[in-house]
Structure 1
Amino acid sequence: MSSFLFKKIDNAGLILFRIFFGILISLECYGAILTGWVSTNLVEPTFNFSFIGFEWLNTITGPGMYAYFIVMGTLGIFISIGYKYRYSMLAFALLWTSVYLMQKTSYNNHYYLLMLISWIMVFFPASTDISIDSKKNPELRTNKMYAYYKYIIVLQLIIVYTYASVAKLYADWLDFGFIKILMQGKANYFLIGEFLQQAWVHKVVAVFGILFDLLIIPALLWKPSRKIAFMLAVFFHLFNSIVFQIGIFPYLALAFTVFFFEPKKLRKIFVMIEKKNVPTVVAKPKHKNIIIGVWVIYFLFQLGLPIRHHFFKDDVLWNEQGHRLSWRMMLRSRSGIVSFKTIDKKTNEEKRINLDDYLTKKQRRKIGAYPDFIWQFAQHLKDEAKKNNKDIAVYVNSRVSINGKPYQPFIDPKIDLAQEKWHHFKHNTFILPSPK
């Protein structure tokens, strides 16, 4: 195993991935400004639903976020051309992690994957060829890398896709009901809208989604199936890009495939890299045990975090506890109805909260369906009252519908949420049991 991981192999895949990765994150950041994503999620809101514990990041939201995303987009260009790569990659990882943590109104797992890959790339020697850094400093230039760099990416992708496949093995996916709901929102699409409403299409999408996620990485690793797997990956990810419009992720997923093709073939296809044979050599690093230890800890965390919901009371599909950071991608549709009531503990004055006074339209669509959103807003009302020297109780009436099913009571209306603590690693008792 030591010889397998620490031999030096051709680095063509890593160099190409750095170029593609930099271009994609640049497009993601500039595109977030042009499409209004930054405005909707980070400029317009006066209150943001950050990850709990990272509320302090809200102090940097506002109009300055346009410049923030321009900086990130520019760093993407620097990464792609290999200019001060290590500093550029570290700066982007820090900035993107902050964006990820400061809002979850537009949460998706793709942003989480981008965060993980950004931090992984900080520690990879991805600018040792076809870069400004290697041109300025020829001593850095090499066409070799340790094999474990490649297999870190491969193992990360195995975890992502395998968990995504297993998560789909639940009733509403297997009876195609969720797919039907998902496609109903695409009925107005030009040319393909009516096609996407066909029952047989829903069945194909459901089954193909499970099998693709489960088998794509093994199929790419096995040379006889690699070309077919790549063609299926192109179809799958382009379909997702067109139908679900999920940003750069489909193209990032395709960029990962450079790690599965033989470097010799990559050097033939892509004109920007030198066409030469790079022999494999054995060369173990000085701190081999430390390297192994760090990555073992990282991957144990990656294996454990997505299954934490099994240790919470009740069903994650209902209570959402453990849903995020678990590769449960495009798995359910939630909607909620919620109302907030405050009571002044001194005067017993009761007040009904008008959410329009606090939240954007997009935030109002989210808040009723997610328990952490409801709890955070209750804490916001409490803090706001405290600034006015008032001590209030906050009560909530909430009903939730999952995958188009009837609305059911969600939050215990008798519990004062202002006094509740949020528990990251155990069940929050103000969430009512899931309906049988």
Structure 2
Amino acid sequence: MNKLLFKQVDNSPLIVFRILFGLLIALEAWGAIATGWVRRTLIEPQFTFNFIGFDFLQPLPGNGMYLYFGLMGLLGIFVMLGFKYRSSVIAYTLLWTSVYLMQKTSYNNHYYLLILLLIFMCLVPAHRYFSIDAKNNPSLKSISMPNWVVLFIIGQMWIVYTYASLAKLYPDWLDGTFPELLMKTKAHYWLIGDLLQERWIHMSIAYFGILFDLLVVPLLLWKRTRVVMFWISVFFHLFNSIVFQIGIFPYMSLALTVFFFPKEYIHRKFLKFKPFYSDSEIEVPGLAPYFKGFLLIWFAIQLLLPVRHYFIKGDVFWTEEGHRMSWRMMLRSKGGSASFLVKNLKTGKTDYVKLDEYLTPKQKRNLLKPDGIFQFTQKLKKEYAEKEIPVEIYARIKVSLNARTPEYLVDPKLDLSTIKWDYFKHNDWILLQAESE
């Protein structure tokens, strides 16, 4: 095990990835400002749908979130240049994770993946060559890295892609129902909009998606198929970038392929001026037993989190319980309607809640998800409690899954002010589909 993890290998892939990674996370932060994402998601909303239990994480007042993301962009450039590398990447990790937990109106599995990659970059010696840190402190300079760096990335990306493939093995994906719904939202695209409405495109997306996610890591590892798989990856990720406009993540995925190519090749193509490390010395750190324990826990969590929904009652596509952090990416479409009413127990008067006074149009979609219902109910409950007004809260919420007939997600006669949230098992106040008919 020590030989597998701590054998020293050439660090050219890590140095190249650090440069690409730093640039991409800087673009992610500054792009969030330029595209209006920060304004729409963190500045304009009056109420924040954060991860339950992280209510203390709230956006900075006024235009503070612009400064927040501006600082993250600067830290990304520092990571790229290898300037104050360790403190810069740790700071970016803390800031990005806080934003992730702060809001889930714009939830994306890729945001979670970036947290994992940031933690990885906090651990690795990515600043020991071709960096300002190494220039200022020559004792840092090194042309090698431990082999676990490569194994970590390969293992992590195999988990991501494999679970993404397995999650697609359900009827509405296999028969092209959801890909068709997904492409209908792209019909207005110039040049390719009409093409994306073709049935053969929907079925190609369905099965190419399954096969790509399942095979990309094995075929990048196999010498005979590596180059072909790389160019297939370029096509796949550029398609996703153009059609789905998901930010830096297609390019981050392509950047990660440097760990799958021979180190000699990456050295020759990108860092020819750097000496190549050709020895195979084993350097076991003093904390090796603890690090092995960390790796064991890390990958156990990564393997278990995506399957937790199998241990929770109900269909994850409907209840959303166990959906997040499980690589269930772009798999279902939800529409519907939601209205809330509050009964004043002092006066007996019942009033409809004016949702526009609380939520942005995009935030209203959170009311079609159980945790969003719970959080908005708690918001209303707290608001009336501060006025010392006892209330009961009811909602009529009908949800359509993949364009099916809408069904009730919660019982309209249930007083939602009494509900609680359980992270680890089914919340019985959520109606299962058979119960909502």
Q: Counterpart in 2 of 1:383?
A: 382
**Pair 169,241 (structure 1): closer, same or farther in 2 beyond 3 Å:** same
Q: Counterpart in 2 of 1:400?
A: 399
Using the TM superposition, give the Cα deviation of residue 367 of structure 1 relative to its aligned residue in structure 2, in angstroms: 2.7
Q: How many Å separate the matches in 2 of 1:367 and 1:271?
A: 47
Q: Counterpart in 2 of 1:206?
A: 206
Is the Cα contact below 8 Å between 1:14 and 1:126 reproduced in 2? yes
Aligned counterparts, 1:21-60, within 5 A: 21-58=21-58, 60=60
Is the Cα contact below 8 Å between 2:143 and 2:276 reproduced in 1? no
The reply to whether residue 412 of structure 1 matches residue 419 of structure 2 is: no
Aligned counterparts, 1:34-113, within 5 A: 34-58=34-58, 60=60, 62-113=62-113
SS at match of 1:83: coil
SS at match of 1:13: helix
Q: Counterpart in 2 of 1:314?
A: 314
Q: Counterpart in 2 of 1:286?
A: 286
Q: How many Å separate the matches in 2 of 1:205 and 1:59?
A: 38
Using the TM superposition, give the Cα deviation of residue 276 of structure 1 relative to its aligned residue in structure 2, in angstroms: 3.2
The one-letter code sitting in structure 1 at the alignment partner of 2:239 is F
Is the Cα contact below 8 Å between 1:18 and 1:126 reproduced in 2? yes
Using the TM superposition, give the Cα deviation of residue 411 of structure 1 relative to its aligned residue in structure 2, in angstroms: 0.9
Unaligned runs of 5+ in 1: none
Q: How many Å separate the matches in 1 of 2:59 and 2:244?
A: 32
Q: Counterpart in 1 of 2:224?
A: 224
SS at match of 2:368: coil
Q: How many Å separate the matches in 2 of 1:254 and 1:343?
A: 54
The one-letter code sitting in structure 2 at the alignment partner of 1:163 is Y
Using the TM superposition, give the Cα deviation of residue 336 of structure 1 relative to its aligned residue in structure 2, in angstroms: 2.3
Q: Counterpart in 2 of 1:428?
A: 427
Is the Cα contact below 8 Å between 2:240 and 2:246 reproduced in 1? yes
Q: How many Å separate the matches in 2 of 1:282 and 1:368?
A: 55
SS at match of 1:351: strand
Using the TM superposition, give the Cα deviation of residue 91 of structure 1 relative to its aligned residue in structure 2, in angstroms: 0.2
Q: Counterpart in 2 of 1:142?
A: 142
Using the TM superposition, give the Cα deviation of residue 263 of structure 1 relative to its aligned residue in structure 2, in angstroms: 1.4
Is the Cα contact below 8 Å between 2:316 and 2:322 reproduced in 1? yes
Q: Counterpart in 1 of 2:160?
A: 160
The one-letter code sitting in structure 2 at the alignment partner of 1:367 is N
Aligned counterparts, 1:315-330, within 5 A: 315-330=315-330
Using the TM superposition, give the Cα deviation of residue 278 of structure 1 relative to its aligned residue in structure 2, in angstroms: 3.1
Using the TM superposition, give the Cα deviation of residue 59 of structure 1 relative to its aligned residue in structure 2, in angstroms: 5.3
The one-letter code sitting in structure 2 at the alignment partner of 1:64 is G
SS at match of 2:24: helix
SS at match of 1:56: coil
Unaligned runs of 5+ in 2: none
Is the Cα contact below 8 Å between 2:9 and 2:277 reproduced in 1? no
SS at match of 2:400: strand
Is the Cα contact below 8 Å between 1:44 and 1:62 reproduced in 2? no
Q: How many Å separate the matches in 2 of 1:61 and 1:9?
A: 48
Using the TM superposition, give the Cα deviation of residue 275 of structure 1 relative to its aligned residue in structure 2, in angstroms: 5.3
Q: Counterpart in 1 of 2:174?
A: 174
SS at match of 1:361: coil
CA RMSD of aligned residues (A): 1.2
Q: Counterpart in 1 of 2:14?
A: 14
SS at match of 1:94: helix
SS at match of 2:65: helix
Q: Deviations over 1:100-154 (max 9, x none)?
A: 0010000010000001111121111110011000000000000111101111111
Using the TM superposition, give the Cα deviation of residue 320 of structure 1 relative to its aligned residue in structure 2, in angstroms: 0.5
**Pair 91,208 (structure 1): closer, same or farther in 2 beyond 3 Å:** same
Is the Cα contact below 8 Å between 2:59 and 2:65 reproduced in 1? no
The one-letter code sitting in structure 2 at the alignment partner of 1:403 is N
The one-letter code sitting in structure 1 at the alignment partner of 2:95 is L
**Pair 258,273 (structure 1): closer, same or farther in 2 beyond 3 Å:** farther
Q: How many Å separate the matches in 2 of 1:268 and 1:352?
A: 67
The one-letter code sitting in structure 1 at the alignment partner of 2:396 is N
**Pair 111,61 (structure 1): closer, same or farther in 2 beyond 3 Å:** farther
Q: Counterpart in 1 of 2:295?
A: 295
**Pair 226,12 (structure 1): closer, same or farther in 2 beyond 3 Å:** same
Q: How many Å separate the matches in 1 of 2:248 and 2:59?
A: 28
Is the Cα contact below 8 Å between 1:369 and 1:400 reproduced in 2? yes
SS at match of 1:302: helix
Q: How many Å separate the matches in 2 of 1:158 and 1:139?
A: 35
Q: Counterpart in 1 of 2:362?
A: 362
The percent of aligned pairs where both chains have the same amino acid is 51
Is the Cα contact below 8 Å between 1:268 and 1:275 reproduced in 2? no
**Pair 272,114 (structure 1): closer, same or farther in 2 beyond 3 Å:** farther
Q: How many Å separate the matches in 1 of 2:77 and 2:217?
A: 29
The one-letter code sitting in structure 2 at the alignment partner of 1:223 is K
Aligned counterparts, 1:231-270, within 5 A: 231-270=231-270
Comparing 286-295 with 133-142, greater Cα deviation is found at 286-295
Using the TM superposition, give the Cα deviation of residue 272 of structure 1 relative to its aligned residue in structure 2, in angstroms: 7.1
Q: How many Å separate the matches in 2 of 1:119 and 1:403?
A: 35
Q: How many Å separate the matches in 2 of 1:273 and 1:96?
A: 34
Q: How many Å separate the matches in 2 of 1:272 and 1:368?
A: 55
**Pair 379,127 (structure 1): closer, same or farther in 2 beyond 3 Å:** same
The one-letter code sitting in structure 2 at the alignment partner of 1:126 is A
Is the Cα contact below 8 Å between 2:13 and 2:267 reproduced in 1? no
Is the Cα contact below 8 Å between 1:5 and 1:147 reproduced in 2? yes
Q: How many Å separate the matches in 2 of 1:273 and 1:119?
A: 29
SS at match of 1:424: coil
Q: How many Å separate the matches in 1 of 2:215 and 2:355?
A: 45
Comparing 268-277 with 94-103, greater Cα deviation is found at 268-277
Q: How many Å separate the matches in 2 of 1:367 and 1:264?
A: 49
What TM-score do you get using the length of structure 2 for normalisation?
Answer: 0.97
Using the TM superposition, give the Cα deviation of residue 188 of structure 1 relative to its aligned residue in structure 2, in angstroms: 1.1
The one-letter code sitting in structure 2 at the alignment partner of 1:398 is I
